[in-house]
Amino acid sequence: MMRMRARYGLCVASLVAGAWIATSGTASATMPLQKKAKEAGFEATNCLYCHNEKLPKKEAVSHNDRGKWLLAEKDKRKAKEVDVSWLKDYVEKK
């Protein structure tokens, strides 16, 4: 009886952990990133600095040219996450 409860508990814990990992996703922007960009002297006053939405959702997010460039840099540099210091190399299209 105790073994069955232990297995059940382990199964539930595994499912919860798996669901948490699966739903965490790969958020491309966070408030700390925006704060770091401001501290570095960039005009990141809101999410529209890199996104097309005022408040992007994980499921439906689109990036403007700057955001697309940052994601391309992330891939090019094989980085785990975006580094706002890369923005010094970004040349805005006219």
Q: Give start and end residues of each alpha helix (H) in the chain.
A: 2-24, 31-39, 65-76
Closest CA to 75 of 23, 25, 28, 24: 28
Q: What is the pTM of this model?
A: 0.65
Q: Give dist(CA 91, CA 51) in Å, integer.
A: 17
Closest CA to 63 of 74, 77, 89: 74
Ranges of each domain in the chain: 26-89
CA–centroid distance for 5 within its chain: 38
* pLDDT digits 0-9 by tens, 11-58: 565 655 555 454 444 445 678 888 999 999 999 999 999 999 988 887
φ, ψ dihedrals at 61, nearest 5°: -125, 140
Question: Which tokens go with 76?
Answer: 């090019």
> Which pLDDT belongs to residue 58?
78
